[in-house]
A and B are shown apart, each in its own frame.
Chain A
Amino acid sequence: MSHDHEGGFDRRQTLKCMLWAGTGVVWTVAGGVPASRLIGSAKAAESGFSFVQMSDCHIGFAKPANPDARATLNIAIDKVIAMPDKPAFMIHTGDISHSAKPNEFDDAQQMIGRAKLDVHYAPGEHDILDPKTRDAYLERFGKGATGGGWYAFDQGGVHFVSLNNVVDLKKNGLGSLGADQLEWLEDDLKGKSASTPIVIFSHIPLWMIAPEWGWGTEDSAQALAYLSRFGSVTVLNGHIHQLMQKVEGNVTFHTARSTAFPQPAPGTAPAPGPKLVPAGELRKWLGVREVVYAPTPTNLAVTDSDLA
């Protein structure tokens, strides 16, 4: 049986997830149920492990919404370094750079490297602008990945899948996975037990948040169909620079905040894009946020004990 208590929270009641949204999110995995925590105060589950999600660093961005995206990434990395329990690794859900320039990637990797963690990247549309930058991205980050930059790995009994949904953008900039990647995903998952916890991550959300702003992935339904037989699926995305959560069956979706600048909530602005906040308040917009998540009995029911 898995642990019902992780760091003081009772998962059979209300799971309170603390997200230090401006820098990164710590995910603690125990019993196959990843739970997000406040960076700096997270404790790795006694029987599991933790990892960090970093997203939308936009290194190279230097405009009014954040004149120095390097500085805020460095703050994020400081927070990771200061964690009392070292995370097992980091995932980065894209937009590492702002303009896909080599020096931007160099700087980002140098800063992220200070955390001394293995980093598993998924590309954002700012990292791959055209065929030339796609090739450069795959050359830099795609070693060990398939031709299109998607890959999977296992950690502590959890199966992680990194997808690339930024190469062939659709209407309004919607992401897409494409037939080749979907076929690969189906094959990748084929041999897995339904009790295997799955964490799947990509840049653009794999759920339709705001299609008119391109905040969704056109063919994500097919990918989710392949995942439907699994008891615990966690989807982690970036792109929208704000926290959103959704539970659909056994699938829990989370988006992460950026380390660079906020974006407006859907419907509150004419268009997505960097949101200018009053001078001196950027850190507040990127700051600590508490999210209370009340899982349904269905969510808890799928918790496996084979990882304990």
Chain B
Amino acid sequence: MSLFRLPEPLPRDACRETGVLPPHPSRGRDLSTNPRARTRVDDSHERSDASLRRKEKYVAAVMLAAAISAALAQTAWAGGLTGDAARGETLYEACQDCHSLDKNDVGPRHRGVFGRKAASLPDYDYSDALKSANIVWNEETLDKWLTDPQAVAPGAKMFFHLDNPQDRADVIAYLKERAK
């Protein structure tokens, strides 16, 4: 079972009903072969207006898609919150019971952790649980991990957790922005 399962995509029909999908490429072909479309070729105003309307619809659809995607993402993890890296740096003091940026400690070093595959440092002795978890650390996976590491990888060494989603977002922002 994947612990990082993303939200199921909406059924295709449902997407059409919401109008959130950009025009399917096949529709373009339909237009090009549509007799009515060909009749408009000679009318520059109509052609221009139609093009503008299509663009407006496309932009609106893309924006809606992005908004819904973000909303769906928030239902799956506490991401979507804007992290404050400076506050995250202060919160990171608590992490230092076991971690440092540049030196392996009770836990592995954190510099460059964002985007790194979990359990991939060659000079740290990871738990078998984390080795087999197949995780890449990003906002979502770090949020899950910081919420309850034992739920992500039962048997992992870490028990530390942050209950507040904003605290997690801030620590993640710190790791992403300042612990490169």
Docked Cα-Cα span, A155 to B119, in Å, equals 47
CB under 8 Å from chain B, chain A span 101-143: 126, 129-130, 132
Cβ–Cβ contact A126 & B106, under 8 A: yes
Cβ–Cβ contact A130 & B125, under 8 A: yes
CB under 8 Å from chain B, chain A span 164-191: 169, 171-173
Docked Cα-Cα span, A98 to B99, in Å, equals 11
On chain A, the residues within 8 Å of B160 by CB distance are 173, 271-273
A130 is contacted by which of B93, B127, B161, B167 (Cβ under 8 Å)? B127
Cβ–Cβ contact A274 & B96, under 8 A: yes
Q: What secondary structure prevails in chain A residues at the interface with B?
A: loop
Chain B residues bordering chain A, tally (CB within 8 A) = 20
On chain B, the residues within 8 Å of A173 by CB distance are 159-160
On chain A, the residues within 8 Å of B159 by CB distance are 169, 171-173, 214
Cβ–Cβ contact B96 & A129, under 8 A: no
Docked Cα-Cα span, A271 to B105, in Å, equals 19
In the complex, how many angstroms separate the beta carbon of B119 from the nearest chain A beta carbon?
14
Cβ–Cβ contact B164 & A273, under 8 A: no
Is B163 positioned at the interface, with any CB of A under 8 Å from its CB? yes
On chain A, the residues within 8 Å of B97 by CB distance are 272-274
Is A8 positioned at the interface, with any CB of B under 8 Å from its CB? no
On chain A, the residues within 8 Å of B105 by CB distance are 98-99
A275 is contacted by which of B93, B95, B164, B167 (Cβ under 8 Å)? B93
Cβ–Cβ contact A172 & B161, under 8 A: yes
Q: Which residue on A lies nearest to B170, using beta carbons?
A: A270
Docked Cα-Cα span, A126 to B159, in Å, equals 13
Cβ–Cβ contact A270 & B93, under 8 A: no
Is B73 positioned at the interface, with any CB of A under 8 Å from its CB? no
Is A243 positioned at the interface, with any CB of B under 8 Å from its CB? no
Q: What secondary structure prevails in chain B residues at the interface with A?
A: loop
Cβ–Cβ contact B94 & A273, under 8 A: yes
On chain B, the residues within 8 Å of A65 by CB distance are 93, 96
Q: Which residue on A lies nearest to B159, using beta carbons?
A: A173
Is A284 positioned at the interface, with any CB of B under 8 Å from its CB? no
In the complex, how many angstroms separate the beta carbon of B23 from the nearest chain A beta carbon?
47
On chain A, the residues within 8 Å of B94 by CB distance are 269-274
Is B157 positioned at the interface, with any CB of A under 8 Å from its CB? yes
Docked Cα-Cα span, A214 to B98, in Å, equals 15
Cβ–Cβ contact A274 & B93, under 8 A: yes
On chain B, the residues within 8 Å of A271 by CB distance are 91, 94, 160-162, 167
Q: Which residue on B lies nearest to A97, using beta carbons?
A: B106
Docked Cα-Cα span, A220 to B52, in Å, equals 72
Cβ–Cβ contact A129 & B157, under 8 A: yes
Cβ–Cβ contact A63 & B100, under 8 A: yes
Docked Cα-Cα span, A275 to B163, in Å, equals 18
Interface flags, B76-103, vs A, CB<8A=1, else 0? 0000000000000001011111001000
Is A64 positioned at the interface, with any CB of B under 8 Å from its CB? yes
Docked Cα-Cα span, A275 to B93, in Å, equals 7
Q: Which residue on B lies nearest to A273, using beta carbons?
A: B94
Q: Which residue on A lies nearest to B150, using beta carbons?
A: A171
Interface centre among A130, A171, A270 (most CB of B within 10 A): A270
CB under 8 Å from chain B, chain A span 257-308: 269-276
Other A-B contacts than A98-B105, A275-B93, 17 sampled, CB-CB below 8 A, are A65-B93, A65-B96, A100-B106, A130-B125, A171-B150, A269-B94, A270-B94, A270-B164, A271-B94, A271-B167, A272-B94, A272-B97, A272-B160, A273-B94, A273-B95, A274-B93, A274-B97
